[in-house]
């Protein structure tokens, strides 16, 4: 049966004394999905993972794994395995014994263990390392041992708690690709906790952005980035410009007034914001187009146009960040890709036409 | 000129510095080891005199081996040390686990109480134990046992007394190890289907083992070495080696005492070597490196 549910959380609350770490969380994660819990530290993502693993018990609510209610079942009786942030490899055991541990506890017979350890080490490209101790391995290799140790048990769900956090940037990027490939290969549901938005965007099938114990937005990476539903999400994922505005009308099409009485069309206004109220327009820097006064630029009902002056230029290789002081006093940053190197760059103080499409402008509560 | 002089003074100081340090070092070591060396040398002295060298002999060692009283007190010492170390190590390790892992009402009081035997003077502890055994009326009857082919009669009070102060030391050493242990290792074990007992047996205990062994060796040494508490809790007619030596020394320092001291020195040295070797075998690599092995 395709699309069965691997993990389901219903109204899960976790309170530590008076601090509510996870606040009425409901999630449904289908089989085989790469699902990420993304948020700043203290948002409740790790607590959520620990409740699924069985290291913490929910204060209220229910957790099902593979259709079975877990209740107060302890960690060692749950069909999930965890890759820990600092790997938590057993320092007194060899790589072989680390990887074999789960099967030994399940009383699998010795020859089967030997075969599956070899397979698992093969899967993470650590053949021939079985007699080493964790201390003798590099960070990346320890990471792979931790993966092999978890995957060898063929869990219904693999839980990963910031597993790449301790690696350097280059290795982290390599491991991102490798993890994703591995996940597709083994077809196991991955629940991945991270505070790194780029990591979540590149690997996940779906992402839950968490803040203050609640899911702020749940969706595919493109949704999360292109169509954030709150100021928090827009701000936490990627970079964004926020402009103060007053909502003029919400239907049939959205329109807001920026400072200085400039009216611009918008594609989406958060539910519950009524005309006449103050709000925040969010706009990604790469969605802004810059034109010289003599250029022709898109006009029409779906195009927003504001005049301004170039205040600062920061060259960052792939693109250049233009800080533009708008004529109404606000400041925006526009990222322009360095497509033609021979093109004449903007000059500081030069007058510029700032244009964007209504489709990219989204309006949230202040 | 003054610049030249001050620079030559600087050179003087630079040359004097390391020499002063070397001399200081030699003096410090001499202070620590000269008495020991003298004891060792005079244990081979062919004379009753402990002040004048009159030639090499093994006579005193032969006399020791023939002295039933001394041998008996040696077996008593070893027996008390082995038994009290075993008991104190088990209890001390359990106490360390309890104090480090759980929070409970009155934990601070219990915690502080564990340090008491380390802090209070031996004599105070000895008197308290003596009063306890006297008033409770338990303890002074002997445990009759055959140990290494010798029949011993060891008062329970001595063993209980040694356990009482050894627990504290074992607890402190094991707790230090526990505190530095990564707690997620136990979570990892339970995540890999190990129940609490398996987690303890396969992960916690092996990782604590260097600490437990260290605590046990410390307890063993302290027990072997103890005079005051043994003296007060043993009742009449029971001697461990230190108590026996104290009895002998009242009649003056003899070459036999030098020989006993030398043998005890050798035993301590053996314990240290064993301790280092067992650390290395237990596979805690970082510690082996610390010891330069």
Task: Pick the residue of A74, A75, A99, A191 with the most B CBs within 10 A to test the interface with B by mutation.
Answer: A75
Q: In chain B, what percentage of residues exceed pLDDT 90?
A: 40
Q: What is the mean pLDDT of residues B51-70?
A: 85
Number of other CB atoms surrounding residue B202 within 10 Å? 20
DSSP string, A244-255: EEEEEE-SSSEE
pLDDT at A288 over 90: yes
Which pLDDT score, from 0 to 100, does residue B1 have? 41
**Is B37 in CB contact (< 8 Å) with chain A?**
no
* Total residue count of chain B as it appears in this document: 293
Residues of A within 8 A of B103 (CB-CB) are none
Domain count for chain B: 2
Token pair for A278: 């103050």
CA-based R_g, chain B, Å: 25
Indicate if B9 and B150 belong to the same structural domain. Answer: no
Residues of A within 8 A of B193 (CB-CB) are 76-77, 102, 105-106, 153
Give the whole-angstrom CA distance, residue A325 versus residue A349.
9
Indicate if B51 and B106 belong to the same structural domain. Answer: no
pLDDT at A89 over 50: yes
- Please give the interface size between A and B, counted as residue pairs whose CB atoms are below 8 Å apart: 71
Interval A8-47: pLDDT, tens? 999 999 999 999 999 999 999 999 999 999 999 999 999 9
Question: A76 vs B284: CB contact, 8 Å cut-off?
Answer: no
Which pLDDT score, from 0 to 100, does residue A214 have? 95
Question: B283 vs A92: CB contact, 8 Å cut-off?
Answer: yes
Which pLDDT score, from 0 to 100, does residue B287 have? 43
Q: What is the mean pLDDT of residues B190-218?
A: 94
pLDDT at B235 over 90: no
Which pLDDT score, from 0 to 100, does residue B10 have? 58
Which pLDDT score, from 0 to 100, does residue B128 have? 92
Indicate if B51 and B175 belong to the same structural domain. Answer: no
Among B59, B78, B102, residue at a domain's last position: B59
pLDDT at A303 over 50: yes
Indicate if B104 and B15 belong to the same structural domain. Answer: no
Which pLDDT score, from 0 to 100, does residue B50 have? 67
Which pLDDT score, from 0 to 100, does residue B87 have? 97
Token pair for B125: 């502890």
Determine the distance from the C-alpha atom of residue B275 to the mean position of all C-alpha atoms in its chain, rounded to a whole number. Answer: 12
A96, A131 Cβ separation under 8 angstroms: yes
Read off the pLDDT band of B264 (50, 70, 90): confident
Which pLDDT score, from 0 to 100, does residue B147 have? 83
Give the residues across from A333 on adjacent strands. A323
Question: A88 vs B187: CB contact, 8 Å cut-off?
Answer: yes
Token pair for B224: 């072997």
Q: Comparing C-alpha atoms, which of B245, B272, B276, B244 is closest to residue B258?
A: B245
Side-chain-facing half-sphere of A278: CA atoms under 13 Å: 5
Collapsing DSSP states into helix, strand and coil, what is residue A5?
strand
Read off the pLDDT band of A213 (50, 70, 90): very high
Number of other CB atoms surrounding residue A252 within 10 Å? 5
Give the whole-angstrom CA distance, residue B72 versus residue B14.
58
Alpha-carbon gap: B224 to the closest alpha carbon of chain A (Å): 32
Token pair for A149: 């140790």
Collapsing DSSP states into helix, strand and coil, what is residue A162?
coil
Residue B228 is part of a domain; what is its CATH number? Answer: 1.10.3720.10
Question: B187 vs A86: CB contact, 8 Å cut-off?
Answer: no
Residue of chain A nearest B184, judged by CA positions: A88
Residues of B within 8 A of A101 (CB-CB) are 189, 192, 194, 202
pLDDT at B228 over 90: yes
Residue from the list B184, B207, B285 with its beta carbon closest to the beta carbon of A135 = B285
Residues of A within 8 A of B207 (CB-CB) are 90-92
Residue where the block lists tokens 């958060």: A270
| Burial (CB count <10 Å: 0-12, 13-18, 19+), residue A337 | exposed
Long-range contacts of B271-278 (CB under 8 A, 24+ apart): B271/B217, B271/B220, B271/B221, B274/B217, B275/B213, B275/B214, B275/B217, B278/B210, B278/B213
Which pLDDT score, from 0 to 100, does residue A330 have? 93
Q: What angle do CA B222, B148, B88 make, to 5 degrees?
A: 30
DSSP string, chain B: -HHHHHHHHHHHHHHHHHHHHHHHHHHHHHHHHHHHHHHHHHTTBSSS-SSS---B--HHHHHHHH-HHHHHHHHHHHHHHHHHHHHHHHHHHHHHHHHHH---TTHHHHHHHHHHHHHS-HHHHHHHHHHHHHHH--S-SEEEEEETTEEEEEEHHHHHHHHHHHHHHHHHHHHHHHHTS-THHHHHHHHTT--HHHHIIIIIHHHHHHHHHHHHHHHHHHHHH--HHHHHHS-TT---HHHHHHHHHTT---HHHHHHHHHHHHHHHHHHHHHHHHHHHTT-HHHHHHTT-
Alpha-carbon gap: A283 to the closest alpha carbon of chain B (Å): 42
Among B26, B59, B92, residue at a domain's last position: B59
Indicate if B50 and B88 belong to the same structural domain. Answer: no
Collapsing DSSP states into helix, strand and coil, what is residue A242?
strand
Which pLDDT score, from 0 to 100, does residue B142 have? 83
Residue with the larger pLDDT of the pair B255 and A79: A79
Indicate if B138 and B275 belong to the same structural domain. Answer: yes
pLDDT at A72 over 50: yes
Residue from the list A88, A133, A149 with its beta carbon closest to the beta carbon of B184 = A88
Residues of A within 8 A of B188 (CB-CB) are 82, 84, 88-90
Give the whole-angstrom CA distance, residue B214 versus residue B210.
6
Indicate if B38 and B122 belong to the same structural domain. Answer: no
Indicate if B45 and B137 belong to the same structural domain. Answer: no
B236, B17 Cβ separation under 8 angstroms: no
* Total residue count of chain A as it appears in this document: 366
Q: Which of A54-68, A69-83, A151-165, B5-19 has the lowest mean pLDDT?
A: B5-19
Task: Pick the residue of B103, B181, B185, B191 with the most A CBs within 10 A to test the interface with A by mutation.
Answer: B191
Collapsing DSSP states into helix, strand and coil, what is residue A186?
helix
Indicate if B85 and B44 belong to the same structural domain. Answer: no
pLDDT at B13 over 80: no
* H or E stretch at A231: helix A231-236
pLDDT at A285 over 80: yes
Residue A52 DSSP code: H
pLDDT at B252 over 90: no
Q: What is the mean pLDDT of residues A331-358?
A: 88
Which pLDDT score, from 0 to 100, does residue B291 have? 37
pLDDT at A353 over 90: yes
Residues of A within 8 A of B195 (CB-CB) are 74, 76
Give the whole-angstrom CA distance, residue A206 versus residue A315.
33
Side-chain-facing half-sphere of B212: CA atoms under 13 Å: 19
| β A68-69/A19-30 pair status | unpaired
pTM of the model: 0.81
Interval B106-140: pLDDT, tens? 888 988 888 888 889 999 999 999 999 888 877 77
Alpha-carbon gap: A210 to the closest alpha carbon of chain B (Å): 24
Among B37, B59, B81, residue at a domain's last position: B59
B50: containing domain: 2-59
Give the whole-angstrom CA distance, residue B125 versus residue B115.
13
Indicate if B98 and B192 belong to the same structural domain. Answer: yes
Indicate if B44 and B185 belong to the same structural domain. Answer: no
Give the whole-angstrom CA distance, residue A255 versus residue A247.
6
Which pLDDT score, from 0 to 100, does residue A199 have? 92
Residues of B within 8 A of A81 (CB-CB) are 191-192
Interval A183-212: pLDDT, tens? 998 899 999 999 999 999 999 999 999 999
Q: In chain A, what percentage of residues exceed pLDDT 90?
A: 83
| β A157-161/A80-83 pair status | parallel
Residue from the list A55, A85, A90 with its beta carbon closest to the beta carbon of B203 = A90
B143, B154 Cβ separation under 8 angstroms: yes
DSSP string, A295-346: S----STTEEEEEEEEEEEEE-SSEEEEEEEETTS-EEEEEEE---TTSPPP
Q: What is the ipTM of this complex?
A: 0.84
Read off the pLDDT band of B290 (50, 70, 90): very low
Which pLDDT score, from 0 to 100, does residue B255 have? 83
Indicate if B35 and B71 belong to the same structural domain. Answer: no
Read off the pLDDT band of B285 (50, 70, 90): very low
Which pLDDT score, from 0 to 100, does residue B2 have? 46
Side-chain-facing half-sphere of A79: CA atoms under 13 Å: 16
Residues of A within 8 A of B202 (CB-CB) are 101
Question: B193 vs A153: CB contact, 8 Å cut-off?
Answer: yes
Read off the pLDDT band of B279 (50, 70, 90): low
Residues of B within 8 A of A54 (CB-CB) are 190-191
Interval B155-184: pLDDT, tens? 899 999 999 999 999 999 999 999 999 989
pLDDT at B52 over 90: no
């Amino acid at each position: 049966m395709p699309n069965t549910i691997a993990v389901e959380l219903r109204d899960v609350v976790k309170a530590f004394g008076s601090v509510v770490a996870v606040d009425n969380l409901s999630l449904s994660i289908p089989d085989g999905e790469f699902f990420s819990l993304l948020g700043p530290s203290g948002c409740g993502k790790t607590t959520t993972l620990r409740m699924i693993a069985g290291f913490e018990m929910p204060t209220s609510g229910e957790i099902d794994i593979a259709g079975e209610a877990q209740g107060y079942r302890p960690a060692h009786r749950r069909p999930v395995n965890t890759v820990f942030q600092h790997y938590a490899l057993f320092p007194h055991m060899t790589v072989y014994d680390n990887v074999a541990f789960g099967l030994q506890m399940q009383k699998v017979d010795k020859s089967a263990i030997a075969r599956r350890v070899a397979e698992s080490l093969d899967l993470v490209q650590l053949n021939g390392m079985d007699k080493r101790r964790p201390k003798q391995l590099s960070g990346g290799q320890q990471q792979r041992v931790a993966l092999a140790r978890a995957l060898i048990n063929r869990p219904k769900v693999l839980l990963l708690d910031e597993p790449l956090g301790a690696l350097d940037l280059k290795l982290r990027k390599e491991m991102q690709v490798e993890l994703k490939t591995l996940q597709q290969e083994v077809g196991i549901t991955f629940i991945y906790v991270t505070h790194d938005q780029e990591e979540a965007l590149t690997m996940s099938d779906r992402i839950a952005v968490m803040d203050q114990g609640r899911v702020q937005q749940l969706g595919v990476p493109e949704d999360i980035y292109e169509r954030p539903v709150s100021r928090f999400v827009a701000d936490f994922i990627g970079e964004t410009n926020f402009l103060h505005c007053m909502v003029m009308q919400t239907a049939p099409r959205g329109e807001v007034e920026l400072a200085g009485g400039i009216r611009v069309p918008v594609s989406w206004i958060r539910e519950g914001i009524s005309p006449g109220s103050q709000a925040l327009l969010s706009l990604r820097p790469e969605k802004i187009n810059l034109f010289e006064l003599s250029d022709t630029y898109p006009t029409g009902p779906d195009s927003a146009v504001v005049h301004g002056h170039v205040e600062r230029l920061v060259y960052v290789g792939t693109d250049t960040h233009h800080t533009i002081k708008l004529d109404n006093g606000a400041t925006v940053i526009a990222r322009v890709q360095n497509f033609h190197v021979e093109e004449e760059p903007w000059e500081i103080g030069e007058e510029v036409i700032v244009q964007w499409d209504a489709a990219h402008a989204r309006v949230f509560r202040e | 000129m003054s610049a030249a002089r001050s620079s030559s003074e600087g050179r003087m100081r630079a040359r004097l510095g390391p020499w002063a340090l070397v001399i200081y070092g030699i003096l410090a070591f001499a202070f620590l080891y000269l008495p020991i060396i003298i004891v060792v040398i005079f244990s081979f002295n062919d004379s009753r005199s402990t002040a004048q060298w009159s030639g090499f002999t093994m006579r005193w060692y032969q006399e020791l081996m023939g002295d039933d009283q001394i041998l008996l007190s040696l077996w008593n010492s070893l027996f008390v040390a082995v038994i009290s170390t075993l008991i104190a190590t088990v209890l001390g390790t359990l106490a360390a686990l309890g104090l480090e892992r759980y929070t409970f009402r009155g934990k601070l009081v219990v915690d502080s109480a564990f340090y008491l035997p380390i802090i209070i003077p031996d004599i105070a502890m000895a008197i308290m134990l003596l009063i306890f055994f006297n008033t409770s009326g338990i303890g002074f009857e002997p445990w009759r046992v055959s140990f290494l082919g010798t029949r011993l009669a060891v008062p329970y009070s001595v063993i209980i007394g040694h356990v009482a102060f050894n627990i504290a030391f074992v607890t402190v050493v094991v707790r230090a190890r526990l505190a530095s242990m990564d707690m997620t290792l136990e979570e990892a074990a339970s995540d890999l289907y190990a129940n609490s007992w398996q987690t303890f047996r396969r992960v916690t205990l092996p990782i604590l083992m260097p600490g437990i062994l260290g605590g046990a060796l410390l307890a063993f040494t302290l027990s072997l070495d103890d005079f005051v508490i043994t003296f007060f809790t043993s009742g009449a007619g029971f001697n461990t080696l230190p108590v026996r030596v104290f009895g002998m020394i009242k009649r003056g320092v003899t070459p036999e005492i030098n020989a006993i001291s030398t043998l005890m020195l050798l035993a301590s040295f053996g314990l240290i070597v064993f301790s280092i070797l067992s650390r290395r075998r237990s596979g805690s690599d970082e510690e082996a490196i610390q010891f330069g092995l």
